[in-house]
Structure 1
Amino acid sequence: MNIPKKVVLCEVGPRDGLQNETSILSVEEIVSLIDSITESGFKVIEVGSFMHPKSVPQMVGTDEVFKRINKKEGVEYRALIANMKGVERAASCGCRKVKLNVSASRAHNLANLNKTPEESVAGFKETVIVAAYEGIDISGSISMPFGSPWEHIIPMDDVKKIARTYIDAGITEISLSDASGMAVPNQVYNICTEMKNEFPDVKWILHFHNTRGLGIANILAGMQAGITWFDTSFAGLGGCPFIPGAAGNVSTEDVLHMLDEMGVETGINLDGVIRTSKMLLEALNHPADSYILKAGKSRDLVPDAPVIMQYDR
């Protein structure tokens, strides 16, 4: 298998994992979670979002969380924003990385914003300029490039147009987000290969929801296409409250366990992640879709056995 020797996992649980929860955690609880996953070795953490509290009430404390977390040098702490207001809030609370988002589904984008995806991204230019002035790095995300509940199939030309508009706005870090949970592995491989070939200077990140059980398979397909950056969520929590049926991100523990067993380097301590996820589920008081939290690690079955799963690549 043609897979990378090292990948980077971004923990999106504090934002994408918690935004779909009926229980709203306190600032203190979220800070504790983020400090815990920082200690486990994550180099990228999505702390929250600067959205209007009426839209996403679970994220109302993001500004205060940024002020209180124990920021570790070399770790990227980012937040999702919608517009210029998000940059202003980021600058005020010490956030140095923000992410913009647009839907590749024209029907979805028109219904929510009364704009085409290209028009939405073109409107980000001023936001990018102000972010640069404030010393804030900025990335972009394209939701539903793999499929939409409205159109079903998203034309690749539409996805490429959005990517070009992002690049024209000065954004060269772009996430392909399967918010609808409709992606399948061969499609992921083909799309990622095509996008990497056409836009070689872009850093591509993949974000999969595990709505239909294909999250890990899609990550593996992305790895085979040469992608090395992936979003995951502790305990498999999350989902998009604005897309029908899009519940559940791919579980951080499950992905990390697979990578550990395959000998792919991440720099993240799986035991630490498991402890954090268990702590989180106690606070939320409900189970989650994480195989490792249910079954434990494979190596726990024979704890004294030598490591034999480091396959040649």
Structure 2
Amino acid sequence: MYQFTPTAQLRDVTLRDGLQLTGKLLSVARKLDITRQLIALGVPEIELGSLARPDKVPPMAGTLELIGELTPEELERCWVWVATPRHVEKAAAAGARNFQYCLSASDAHNQANIGRSTETSIAAMPDATAIAESVGGKIELCIATSFTCPFDGHVPEDRVLSIANDDRTAGSVDIVICDTLGQAVPTQVTSLVERVAAESPQRRIVYHGHDTWGLGVANTLAAITAGATLVDGSLGGLGGCPFAPGASGNTSTEDILFATRPDWFDPDKLATMVELSENLLAELGEPMRSKTVQGARSSRSDRSEGTGSVNPFEWVV
């Protein structure tokens, strides 16, 4: 079977970044069901929520309760978004052990998203790292607006590298490079990921992309080729940042998997994932942005009319 080389694992971020802009809210029980369906499918890692204030980002309500419902084995595959040491403390008390500590390369977005300067967020990271390590946990350094900021415009690569090389961020096991607005192009992604790999401490590189300008999958493949070994996606391309005007959905989980073909993914799992994705987006009243799901739906329609001869969930090389 075809497999994109080099390979990378997928992290599904539907339950955090995917839900941030939705008008309808999901219950903790529904989030738990989605988490377990994704684990059963074989999705290697999941971002299951955020400690952002529910009055600011209502869909993130219930994250601590969701963490408390999961087993330690399930939580080993799950990450929770945090922005302060207090967030880490609260999530750890609920049972979380994987923490994604997020800040923005641009001050203007950090102020809008977190309510403080980037410098203040960096200065607090050692305390957040110490709390994570005290419970045997891991912490990621997540750098939002690594390419462009909705308020400040272009973000220089050197700005991202300065954060990656700051001694105060040295405790992170991963570094997440985020195209928050989806405005990057593959050459930019390649350049930044290669520089992070070559010019900052060795750790896993994660790429988080959006498909606002239609380059989500292309940028994800560029990131993998440049050295990223974990990439983010959301079901149906759901998502966007409420504090980044113009940012639309994440790169689709289904599209990334269809392009990369990891060894755990097969046509049967694609069929199950399409059903999960369609049901979820219909429940939320959100549009389907995944080209893979749209293609499968189109093929199924042809077959139902007697004009299709190919199983839409089978693929050929």
Q: 1:215-294 counterparts in 2 under 5 A?
A: 215-260=216-261, 264-265=262-263, 267=265, 269-294=269-294
> Which letter maps to 2:195?
E
Aligned to 1:82: 83
Moved more, 34-43 or 161-170: 161-170
Instruction: Please give the alpha-carbon distance, in whole angstroms, between the structure 1 residues aligned to 2:247 and 2:102.
Output: 17
> Which letter maps to 1:95?
A
Aligned to 1:303: 311
Once the two structures are TM-superposed, the CA of residue 68 in structure 1 deviates from its matched residue by 2.0
> Could you list the runs of 5+ residues in structure 2 that have no partner in the other structure?
301-308
Aligned to 2:306: none
Percent identity reads: 34
Q: 1:154 to 1:203 in 2, by over 3 A?
A: same
Aligned to 1:62: 63
Aligned to 2:304: none
Once the two structures are TM-superposed, the CA of residue 65 in structure 1 deviates from its matched residue by 1.1
Once the two structures are TM-superposed, the CA of residue 87 in structure 1 deviates from its matched residue by 1.6
When normalised by structure 2's length, the TM-score is 0.87
Whether contact under 8 Å (1:37, 1:276) holds in the other structure is: no
Per-residue displacement from partner, 1:222-244 (whole Å, max 9, x unpaired)?
12213221000011100000001
When normalised by structure 1's length, the TM-score is 0.88
Per-residue displacement from partner, 1:107-158 (whole Å, max 9, x unpaired)?
3235666754244212211111122112221111001111122232212221
Moved more, 110-119 or 234-243: 110-119
Q: 1:200-219 counterparts in 2 under 5 A?
A: 201-219=202-220
Q: 1:104 to 1:305 in 2, by over 3 A?
A: closer
Q: What secondary structure is seen at the aligned counterpart in 1 of 2:143?
A: strand
Q: 1:119 to 1:266 in 2, by over 3 A?
A: farther
Q: 1:151-190 counterparts in 2 under 5 A?
A: 151-165=152-166, 168-190=169-191
Once the two structures are TM-superposed, the CA of residue 159 in structure 1 deviates from its matched residue by 0.7
Task: Please say if 1:97 is aligned against 2:95.
Answer: no
Once the two structures are TM-superposed, the CA of residue 33 in structure 1 deviates from its matched residue by 0.9
Q: 1:179 to 1:168 in 2, by over 3 A?
A: closer
Instruction: Please give the alpha-carbon distance, in whole angstroms, between the structure 1 residues aligned to 2:241 and 2:227.
Output: 27
Instruction: Please give the alpha-carbon distance, in whole angstroms, between the structure 2 residues aligned to 1:93 and 1:255.
Output: 31
Instruction: Please give the alpha-carbon distance, in whole angstroms, between the structure 1 residues aligned to 2:299 and 2:272.
Output: 15
Task: Please say if 1:51 is aligned against 2:59.
Answer: no
> Which letter maps to 2:263?
E
Task: Please say if 1:193 is aligned against 2:194.
Answer: yes
Instruction: Please give the alpha-carbon distance, in whole angstroms, between the structure 2 residues aligned to 1:305 and 1:249.
Output: 23
Whether contact under 8 Å (1:215, 1:250) holds in the other structure is: yes
Instruction: Please give the alpha-carbon distance, in whole angstroms, between the structure 1 residues aligned to 2:145 and 2:175.
Output: 13
> Could you list the runs of 5+ residues in structure 1 that have no partner in the other structure?
none
Instruction: Please give the alpha-carbon distance, in whole angstroms, between the structure 1 residues aligned to 2:93 and 2:222.
Output: 39
Instruction: Please give the alpha-carbon distance, in whole angstroms, between the structure 2 residues aligned to 1:30 and 1:7.
Output: 25
Q: 1:195 to 1:304 in 2, by over 3 A?
A: closer
Per-residue displacement from partner, 1:162-217 (whole Å, max 9, x unpaired)?
11126644113110011121111111111111111112512110000111111001
Question: CA-atom RMSD, angstroms?
Answer: 2.6
Once the two structures are TM-superposed, the CA of residue 160 in structure 1 deviates from its matched residue by 0.8
Q: What secondary structure is seen at the aligned counterpart in 2 of 1:296?
A: helix
Instruction: Please give the alpha-carbon distance, in whole angstroms, between the structure 2 residues aligned to 1:295 and 1:195.
Output: 35
- Kindly tell me the number of residue pairs found equivalent between the two proteins: 305
Moved more, 175-184 or 80-89: 80-89
Whether contact under 8 Å (2:15, 2:49) holds in the other structure is: yes
Instruction: Please give the alpha-carbon distance, in whole angstroms, between the structure 2 residues aligned to 1:243 and 1:280.
Output: 24
Q: 1:274 to 1:167 in 2, by over 3 A?
A: farther
Instruction: Please give the alpha-carbon distance, in whole angstroms, between the structure 2 residues aligned to 1:180 and 1:215.
Output: 11
